[in-house]
Every structure is written in structure tokens, then in C-alpha cells.
Chain A
Amino acid sequence: MKKFSLMRPQTLEEALTILRDAPDVLPLNGGTDLMVDVNEGKLISPRFMYIGGLPELKKIEVRDGTLCFGGAVTYTELGACPDISAFPCIGQALSNLASPPIRNMGTPAGNMGTASPAGDFNLILLALGAEADLVSAAGMRTVPLSEFYLGVGKTVREKSELIAEIRIPLVKGQHSAFVKLGRRRGQDISRVSSAVSYLLDEGRIRDPRIAIGAVNAVPFRSGTFEEIVSGKTPDEAEAALEGAFPAEANPRRAYKRYVVTPMVRRAIREAQAQEGDWQWS
């Protein structure tokens, strides 16, 4: 019995046709999740389709005020794109997410598909209001990240669909930060993480997005916390959140009740000094 079989379509169209006709086929990018599952015996003889080299999925560009990158763009490739300076939380995430070799192989789209509750970049995309295009042989639909996850390992992606593109709106004056709590400093699964973005209107928070990861089954935004911080300065927001606990959070491990809010407050504080830097026209 083979460990796996591996198809290598040359074009996106070919790939989508394969998925239409054989929905048990799994799209494969860097393999940092799926190949580990194969080695650990969690996936028995899967049929993989390698999409990591598809040119249509390798683009990174700025279009209509958004940063767009394809479903096969690796973390390292994204990190080399100068436009990410608009999103300081991305730079922070990339230097805290796994480790360089895994970033050389892994992709944001791939980790979206894995849908781990602790997925660091999934959290980033949520906090930045990203959306993703899901394409299939039948067409395309756009899904905001806030609607993408259904549960641990479960997303709205149909088996016949690929994540073709992820788009992050470029927002002038946006501040952002990412923080994570792990057991060690490098290459560790987050135990609690938070990604935060907001604008500052005369020093007061506007349009906050407060995303929390590794606590619930899916990464989520805390509307209750966003309401608390709106209109406050970051310092006031930090103070207002002290002792509070996000109503949306439902951690299984008791100690997380102590640390979720401090992590959010830390992210809010760090974001204050981290304004996106980009060539706004």
C-alpha cells in the first residue's frame, strides 16, 4: 500500500477538474500539516494533488486597495513582499510562527484549510478583515475569514474547492499587533494568542478587531471587547479591559481564564506603537 499518491496538475484549471471528478483528492501545498499526518499514520494512503507550484496560485500583488496573495504562496514568500509593512502584525506573526524552514514550505492557505484552533496566521487574517476566494470547476465564491471556520479541522471549503486567493484590505493608519503565549519561544503551538487591529482617530480607537486564538474551537473576534475599547485611547482601553473576560471565550483549560485578557491587553498596547507603513497615494 502506498504511503500516498501524488498528482501534479500543471494548471489551476486542471487541478479544479481533478477535484470535481475525484472529491476525495486532497490539495497539497507545503505538507507541513498533511505530510506529518501521513508519517504519523493519521492519513492512510491519501490521494494528494500538489498545487504548490501552480503559477496562478503564486501571485502576490496589490489590487484595488488590497494585498492579494495566492493559495500557494508560502509564508517566506509573503514575508519577502514589502507591502506587508502595512500590517505590522504580519511581521510579528511571521517571526513567531513555527520556524523558518516551516515557513519556507507552509502556506497561509494551507493552514486555513487545516483549521487548527491555534493556527497563528488564521488569527491574523481574522483581525485584518481578510477574505478568501474559493474556486471550483463550477465557479468562485468569496468568503470572509469570519465565516470560514466551522470547528476544529472543519471549514466551509467544499472538497471540490481550492483557496485561490486571500485578500487583506490595506487601510491607511491601521495599527496592528500579534501576541502569543507558548511553552517556549520558537516553533511552538500557541496556547493563547491574540491579534488586534484598529485605527486611531485623534488618539481614540476606531474599527477595532480583537481576535483571540487557541481558546475556542475556532479563532474568533470578541465583539464584547471591541465594544469596550471603541472610542477609548489604547491606554484607557487597556485599563477598561483589566479584570474583564471576553464573553465569547470558552476555554477548556482553567488557567486560560487568567491569561486571555492580559494577552489581548498586550496586543492592544503593542499595536499602539505599530502603525502600518505603506506608500499611500
Chain B
Amino acid sequence: MEKSRKEKYIGRRMPRRDALVKAQGRAKYTADYRTADMLWGKAVFSGMAHARILRVDAAKAEALPGVVCVMTAKDLPAAKKYGIFCADKPVIAENMILYEGDPIAFIAAETKEIAEEAAALIEAEYEALPVVEDPREALRDDVPPIHENHPVTGNAKVMAEVTLDRGDVDAAFAEADIILEDDFETPQIEHVYLEPDCCIARWVDDTDVLEIVAPQQAVYSTLRALAPVFGLPESRVRFISPYVGGGFGGKEDSCCDLAVIAGLLAMKTRRKVYSEFTAEEVFRYTGKRHGSYVHHRMAATKDGRVIGLDIDIILDKGAYQSMSGLTGGPHAVAQRTVLYAAGPYSVENVRIRSRAVFTNHPYGAAMRGFGAPQIHFAGESQMNELAHRLNMDPVAIRKLNMITPERPTSFGQVLTEENGLGLEECMDKVKAELDKPFMPKHPVRPSQRRGMGLAAYIYGTGMPYKSEGAMCVVHVNRDASVEVGISTTEMGQGAQTVMAQIAAEALGVPVETVNVPLPDTFLSPDSGPTVASRSTTFVGNAILDACRKLLAGFTEAVAHGVGCSPEEVTYAKGVFAAPDGQEIPLRRAIYMAATQAIPQSAVGIWYPPVDIGFGPKGGNSMHTYSFGCQGIDLLLDVETGEIELLRSVLACDIGHALNPQLVEGQMEGGAVMGLGYALTEGVEYKKGVVSNDSMKDYVILGFKDLPQMTSIIVEAANCMGPFGAKGVGEPPLVATAPAVREAIRNASDGVKLNRIPFTPERVITGIYKAKEGGQTS
């Protein structure tokens, strides 16, 4: 698709429409709706990661004045377990604590202080059980399974196993000139969205509806997951999401953790209930990025062609399934690690196994990148090692291996230029930028060494399921203003803004007249969850579908009204033109439609027109993929292990930037989150309980850590995307960690660090071990 640009709104750097209300503090988040008449709902936890519950006694708590009710497991009215895909997480733990976030009671009190006092009065006795923290340890025969009676997996230790087996891996390794074999490790990661999880629940008495207001990412996922817990049909539970103060995948599940507290207490007390997690509780109880242990073997020719991959991945699943696939389907994160294991390269012989293993840690949930950052850390690190071994340029070796129309993906999907293959352009541009001279702002210390590195990525848009699609509804009012009903939540990515741009462009109306209300399951159809970098493409295409239907109807109405055939009527910039020269403005056409039983509202729907299906032998997985390249330039102090970032150069092929300012925002934010992944972040535990449960001890990057940031938008259009777009929310942080690893390797003359984060402690220990000739990490 050639560069646009006849479009009025598409491709424009339009300021987002919620920026002003947020900049003025007028934007309301869930906690801002709390009023003094609401009860305070609080869950009580055991402080233990693994225990049998012997006794819970709520009598003293119930007796405290100001406590309105206390619920324990025996008080649950309907389903006792829930989960986004699989109902395996206890609403209130009855017999077992499998991670610290399994609550033992819910309390509703008049004030927060009384609720906290009552929580301290809950009496409980436990039998402590051995805590299993390392999924590799969990697999040992002498370690009993965490789940004895899981609803899907019984007493299995492996929650899910996903495999890919193509070609002849053993033959490839037998004939290879070079074999690389390494172990890589990444920790669990916290989302650290600034808005702590919270929830307001209200039983609407005169319509028998449970109304829940909470920050979330998937109003329909939470509805489906929780209606059984409330014992209500989905049509009687209303989920509303106001502005969300950051999600990054975490608020897909964590919303449920709060909604069960407030919702059940609201139903029981028939009063409005507000519940929240403190920042510490978010750290301790909500889902995390899966930690990974990857055993990675690569077989290559001396010319640099990767001919075989043999990879074993173990993921720290934590205590519950969370991001499993559809019931009975493959585990989503495990599946993505397999899908992206070969990176953006065409490798014919692959044997990949990924197992999500239960532990007593917080459940592995969705987090930006969804398995791709973990596996790219391994794969791209080894690709860089191969380049070193063969003394080849890191970009050249990647070009040699990359997916082309002639060379399909490692899972057998053929991608053509129409799908958008922008990797080469991304790598060339990153390299060109890194090659430019750059002087550090401060004098370089004698102990500091300079190093640069890069890595590439592949990341699909959407989810690899046949049921993956989006619906929307577009209403055109009599005055030609438009409402777009979608369930996409606004968590900072700018969905409302870009959807308004798409609708305005498609309908030829001023963008200011397009309203995109915040999601509400009573008003918005199911657009699918706000995840997987899918909203612009899937929901955008659904909106285009609805707009096409509307315009087709209005065209028909005009044609009938003027007495010609619809093919003779044209529409541009808000005006219909009849063959006799008559001009009918949109408003008039709408009225004509209203008199002819032609709809002024349309349901739009979009499913990728690709045969999606991924199994152990591969298959088409997504309708399009983003490609990109991350370059890093840094100074390494070889005496202390300190890293000083100089430059981050990120190029992302995102098909087409519908709003370049929003795209840059995702790239910049993603790159910094990726740098934190590489350098400072990681959940730490003491006896299975999160020990760095605050922003003081869980370190994210700040202003002072920023290198010079360059974001390069590459547009290799996706023929199936709205105006050529691909997703951009997650790709920006997929390749950061291996790029940083490579830069450190080059700065230190060969220190190979295979565990992130690269804290000064890890780096200096690695430098010294390398000096002593040992394993560096």
C-alpha cells in the first residue's frame, strides 16, 4: 500500500481526546467514584504461600461494631472458583492455600479502619506445607504436586505442555557445523501500573442487576468469568470500566480478584461496596509475567544459516491457570513461547516444548509481550552468539535467516509482502542510526567501556484462535454525530482516539463529532479483550465493517429517494451526490434512511480471513506480524558492573501509523519497560511470599535512567489491517533484553550473561567469573 495520503484523519498526529481531562485531573478513575456511604470491602490473607487451612473463625470479626458482614468459604452463594479461561482459583480458600493471594475471608465494614481492625480479628490455623518456588524443582519426583484435584489437570504438575515438531531436528544437529547450547533465565515481573486495583459494586435493587465499576482490560472476559460466582446470568451483571490507570496485561485477571470481593459483599449486604488492593497487595497477590527457564540449542551451518532448533522451555505458572487458552485449549503464554521460539526467522527443523508448571507463586498472568520477551531473550542472545562465533555482522546473519515470502515461518505459515515484512528495513535503519557518532554527555571514566548491541523480534497481532474476532456497534444520530460502541478499555494506549479517527475517516464526518464511550457490557458489544496488540486492527476493522454497512444503507436510501440505482450514487466528505447533480448531505440521507426502514445503527464484525489453527505441527497463527529491531548503546563500568545507557534505537514495523504520536508513545513506553526488564526488575521472594512488594524495592526506571531515545516507525502495510495497520502495544519491548545483553557482551569483551535483570551485582559477578574462566551466569 503506498503512502497515504488522501486521508483526513488517518496518519495524523492528533492529540488524544482524553489528554486534557487527564491533564486537569478531571478524568475519573474508579477510586475517584468512591463515596463515604460505601462499605469498605476487604479480603483477608494468610501470609503463607502454601498451607492447609485447619480452621477459620470469624466470630470476633463479625462482632466488631461497624462490621456489616464477614464471608468465609462456606458463605459462597454459587460457583466457588473462577478464572479467565478456567475456573480454578478459589473465590475464598476453603481447604488449601496455594499462594499467598488465596483469601480466607471477605469483610464488609463501614470504614476502612474498621475493616482493617476486623481483619486482624479473624482467627485461623494452618498447617504449613513446603513451598515450591522453582518450577524445575516442582517437576522432581520427590516433590508432591501443588494441585491434588485441579478441575482440568487433576494432580498434574504440568498445567499445560505445548509442542512444535517440524522437519528432522536430529538430522539437522547431526550435520550442523556449529551447535550452540545455553540456559537462559528470566524472572517473574510485576506490571507496576500506577493505579492499584480497586472495584465498586452495587446491587441495583429495582432492576435486579449487579453493577460493577472497575479498571480492567476485558469487560466481557470478567463478565463470563464471574457471572457464575455471583450466581447470575450474564445479562444481569453489568461491568463498566472507567479510565484505567495502566494495565499492561495485569488488569485482565486482577480485576476479577477485586470484583469477587466487592461483588459478593454488595450482593450480601445490598449496599454499595468499595474494595481495593494497596500497592503492596497488588505486588503480592496479583498475577505476574511468567518466569522462564529456557534450555536452548541451535544448529547452524558455517555460513550462518540456522538449520535446527531444539528448545525446552519451563514457565513458572504459579498457583493457577490464568492465561490458559480456551478451556481445554493450549496454554496461551506457553503457546506463544513456542510460536516465537524461532524468532523472525525461517527455520525448517524445530523441536520445541514449552511447559507451564505449577508453583506456589502468584499466578502467571498476561503481561505485555506474553511469552515473547522471555523466548526472544534466549533466541536472540544465541543468534548474537552465532554471529560472534562466525565473525558475522549481526544484521547480515539475521537477513540470511529471516522470514521471506519464499521462506515461511518456523511453524509453516507463509507470509508475503502483503502481510507486511518490514524486518530488513527496521534492522538497516537501526544499524544506520547506531553507526552515527554519539558522544556521551559526561566524561567517560577510565573504568567505563562502550558497547553496542542489537536484537530483532517478531510479534503477532491478535490471538491464534478461530474464535478471535471483534464486534462493535456504530450508531449514527440524526444530526450525523456518531457513537462507536466497543468494549475496548482505555488504559493509556489511546484506543478511543484512534477508533474515533477510523470511524470519522470511514464515515466522512468531523472527528470531533464521533464519541467513543467507555466500555459498558450493557452498551458495548464484545470487541474482545484489550490485549494482544489487537485493538487497532481487530476493532478498527470491525468499525470499518459497521461504517461500510451504514454507508451502503444510506446510499440505498438516497438512491431510492432520488430515483436512481445505488451504484450511481457517490459519497465524499459528508455529501452524497446523485447522478443528476443533486447533493444530499449526510444528515438528510440519515433521515431518508429512517423513513425507509434502513438501519442507522450497524453491528460491525471482523475475524481474520485466514485459516487460523496452530497445533503440534504448526499452522497459521495470526493474520499479521510486527517485526522490528532494538539497538542499544551503553557504557559498562567493568569495576562495578554499573550500566549507563547512552542510546536506545528502536524500529518497529507496525504496518501503518494511524496516529504517529500514539505509536511513538507505545514505542517509547515499551522500550523503557523493556530496559527495566533487562536491567532492574524482578519479583523476589522469601518462602514463596513476595519480598520486594513496593516500588522502593521493585525498581522501575525513571527520568534519570533515560538514554537518548530514537523511535523509528517502519510501515510495511498489513493488507488486512485498517488502513494497513498492525498492532504496536507489545512489540516494543520484545527485543530489549537480548540487545542489552549483546551490548554488555561487547563492552566487556565477551561476558555472557544469561540471566536478567543485569543488576550491577549480576554484571560484576559475571565479569569476575569470566576473568576466572568460569560460567558467567
Contacts and interface: CB of A to CB of B under 8 A. Distances in A.
- Do A and B touch, yes or no (CB under 8 Å, in the complex)? yes
Contacts of B642: 181
A5 B609 CA distance: 66
Contacts of B35: none
Contact of B705 (A184, A191, A259, A262): A184
A109 to B, nearest CB: 21
Interface of A: 1, 40, 181, 183-189, 191-192, 253-255, 258-259, 262-263, 266
Nearest to B761: A255
A186 B680 contact: no
A262 B637 CA distance: 10
Identify which of A183, A189, A254, A266 gathers the most chain B CB atoms within 10 Å of its CB: A183
In terms of DSSP, what is the predominant structure of the interface of chain A? Answer: loop
Interface residues of B, number: 27
Contact of B640 (A1, A184, A263): A263
8 shortest interchain CB distances as A-B pairs: A186-B704, A262-B639, A185-B704, A255-B761, A259-B640, A186-B702, A183-B699, A183-B680
A187 B697 CA distance: 11
Contacts of A259: 639-641, 760, 764
Given A1-B117, A253-B761, A181 B640 contact: yes
Contact of B761 (A40, A189, A191): A191
B696 interface: yes
B701 interface: yes
A266 B641 CA distance: 14
A113 to B, nearest CB: 19
A118 to B, nearest CB: 11
Interface string B688-712: 0000001010011111110000000
Interface of B: 113, 117, 280, 445, 447, 637, 639-642, 679-680, 694, 696, 699-705, 759-761, 764-765, 768
Given A181-B640, A184-B680, 8 more contacts: A183-B679, A183-B760, A184-B701, A184-B704, A186-B703, A186-B704, A191-B760, A253-B761
Contacts of A255: 641, 760-761, 764-765
Contacts of A191: 760-761
A255 B679 CA distance: 17
B768 to A, nearest CB: 6
A263 B639 CA distance: 9
Identify which of A184, A185, A253, A258 gathers the most chain B CB atoms within 10 Å of its CB: A184
A181 B644 CA distance: 12
Contacts of A184: 679-680, 699-702, 704-705
Contacts of A262: 447, 637, 639-640
A262 B448 CA distance: 12
A266 B639 CA distance: 10
A187 B759 CA distance: 16
Contacts of A183: 679-680, 699, 759-760
Given A186-B702, A186-B703, A259-B641, A181 B680 contact: no
A189 B117 CA distance: 32
Nearest to A265: B639
A259 B759 CA distance: 13
B280 A40 contact: yes
A189 B696 contact: yes
Nearest to B706: A185
Contacts of A40: 280, 694
A230 B514 CA distance: 75
Contact of B760 (A181, A186, A187, A189): A181
B680 A258 contact: no
A184 B697 CA distance: 11
A1 B117 CA distance: 8
24 contacts: A1-B117, A40-B694, A183-B679, A184-B679, A184-B680, A184-B699, A184-B700, A185-B702, A185-B704, A186-B702, A186-B705, A191-B760, A254-B765, A255-B761, A255-B764, A255-B765, A258-B640, A259-B639, A259-B640, A259-B760, A259-B764, A262-B637, A262-B639, A266-B445
A262 B447 CA distance: 9
A176 B761 CA distance: 27
B764 A258 contact: yes
B678 to A, nearest CB: 12
Contacts of A254: 765
A259 B680 CA distance: 18
Identify which of A40, A253, A263 gathers the most chain B CB atoms within 10 Å of its CB: A40
